[in-house]
A and B are shown apart, each in its own frame.
Chain A
């Protein structure tokens, strides 16, 4: 027991199951809402809500997740469809980055997970930083030529827009409900795979690694912040449940856990693959590097407020 690593299958299983049991209901809730949105939300409703001024539109797009919450896995195919129906790419990207963080489900789950660990501050800062970064990326994208951002076939879709006449899925309410169920179940099964891996990694970390050995890492703000951001990218957790895993890193400072919570839903291994289906690879890599630096510096800066 004196070594840096000691694995116990029983303890690992116990920790793994506890993380699953805690996070799974939130994941299920998120996928149920995603299914309803997919089938019942008319596309033109989102376009109607946006101001005509491009910058104001980006600012509002960053808040759409409050009305139309969706996690990072579900939002990528949706913004592609929205862009093909005329939504400006800057607005779509802002929504894509902000919605997995700036939404009520994530707010509730973050607050619940950080119970006893400054939950209000962590939740507000997570949502605030997520919104600010998404809007900043939206402004940048607005000033970039589309060919530097989007893949050729996506630009072709935008060049021949299908118009904003499309509504929700066709068919009666019963058909839409069946459709919502299919989306919900599909998303749930897809995302639970990632969640299982994330929970396993977190359980392994929590039970097997002697935390006395990582105290020096956790005690240094720079090392703690960058290491947890890297871990967030590797774990590719769903934003509805990642707070429950972040909250267990009790040795790490709050700013490092905040960086984990902000960076993970913006960029992760899983998302790099998903983003590459719409965006140019160079843009995705630039986005990842830029967000890594920005999140790290912003969170470290928050040390001045005593977080």
Chain B
């Protein structure tokens, strides 16, 4: 009887873990959690865990001898420790970070702080840039256009505004070639609205942020672009907005910093993939 209890307990824990992994994968929620390179591992692990749960149920008694060596109370306790946090987390998350967590992280506003940045030589106008820029998972603004030549070209929308990603401005602050395409020109960028934490002496600045994921959501860092809105926005923190305005690159604190001046904000839906990679 005890043996049967332990067998069902182990199989149940494995099945729950496998079921959660497969549910997250097949419902598409996995995109919010993991870099695309890691997502297939979740599918494989989920399938294996479900298979193992089945095999534990049909295994000969000798194969479960190790498990029955422990007391039932201990086994129930460890099973609860394994299952309860998983199910609580699974049912209590919104699959995205709220304003408090983003505010708790240090905004990346300099190319040197960007995890995947390859700092190009300032004097080299083309070569190193290609491939150095992160991918945009949202595909709402295909920034890179390097197929025909090595020059990094930013696209324009129907109104003639340069469509750029938040991260493009970090590169532009360092690279004259990209800066030339943005500086003093009308631009359009999308991101989530947050208060500016630094470099805001007049209190009229905000930032639009995009989360850049290296491996998983836990390591995602907010890439921030300061903006000066035409009027104080009446929008909650982390609202997805389209920002249009004039790009500037003033020298502040001895460093060239990107800024969108005279910015107009328009609330938009979240893109299909909110992350930059």
Contacts and interface: CB of A to CB of B under 8 A. Distances in A.
Interface of A: 1, 6, 8-22, 24-26, 28, 32, 112-113, 115-117, 175, 178-179, 181-186, 188-190, 192-193, 196, 200, 202-203, 206-212, 215, 244-245, 247-248, 250-251
A20 B86 contact: yes
B66 A182 contact: yes
B88 to A, nearest CB: 7
Q: Which secondary structure characterizes the binding site on chain A? A: helix
B45 A24 contact: yes
Given A21-B34, A22-B34, A189-B13, A113 B55 contact: no
Closest 5 A-B residue pairs measured CB to CB? A116-B116, A13-B93, A13-B89, A25-B41, A18-B217
Interface in B65-114: 65-67, 78, 81-82, 85-86, 88-90, 92-101, 103-106
Contacts of A203: 218
A18 B99 CA distance: 18
Interface in B253-274: none
Contacts of A175: 60, 62
B12 to A, nearest CB: 11
A208 B104 contact: yes
A206 B197 contact: no
A25 B52 contact: no
A116 B14 CA distance: 33
B38 to A, nearest CB: 6
A206 B221 CA distance: 11
A244 B67 contact: no
Interface in B38-66: 38, 41-42, 44-45, 48-49, 52, 55-56, 59-60, 62-66
Nearest to B97: A11
Given A13-B92, A181-B55, A210 B104 contact: yes
Interface of B: 10, 13-14, 17, 21, 24, 30, 32-35, 37-38, 41-42, 44-45, 48-49, 52, 55-56, 59-60, 62-67, 78, 81-82, 85-86, 88-90, 92-101, 103-106, 115-116, 197, 214-219, 221
A242 to B, nearest CB: 13
Nearest to B214: A116
Given A10-B93, A14-B93, A247-B214, 13 more contacts: A11-B101, A16-B85, A20-B86, A21-B33, A25-B41, A112-B38, A116-B115, A181-B63, A185-B52, A196-B85, A208-B104, A244-B215, A250-B221
Contacts of B67: 182, 185-186
26 contacts: A8-B98, A9-B92, A11-B98, A13-B88, A13-B92, A14-B33, A14-B93, A15-B217, A17-B90, A17-B93, A18-B34, A18-B218, A19-B218, A20-B89, A21-B21, A21-B24, A21-B34, A22-B215, A24-B17, A24-B42, A25-B41, A25-B45, A178-B59, A182-B65, A211-B105, A212-B104
Given A116-B115, A178-B60, A207-B97, A24 B21 contact: yes
Contacts of A182: 59, 63-67
B82 A189 contact: yes
Contacts of A178: 59-60, 62-63
A234 to B, nearest CB: 17
A6 B218 contact: no
Contacts of B218: 15, 18-19, 22, 202-203, 206, 245, 248
A189 B10 contact: yes
Nearest to B45: A25
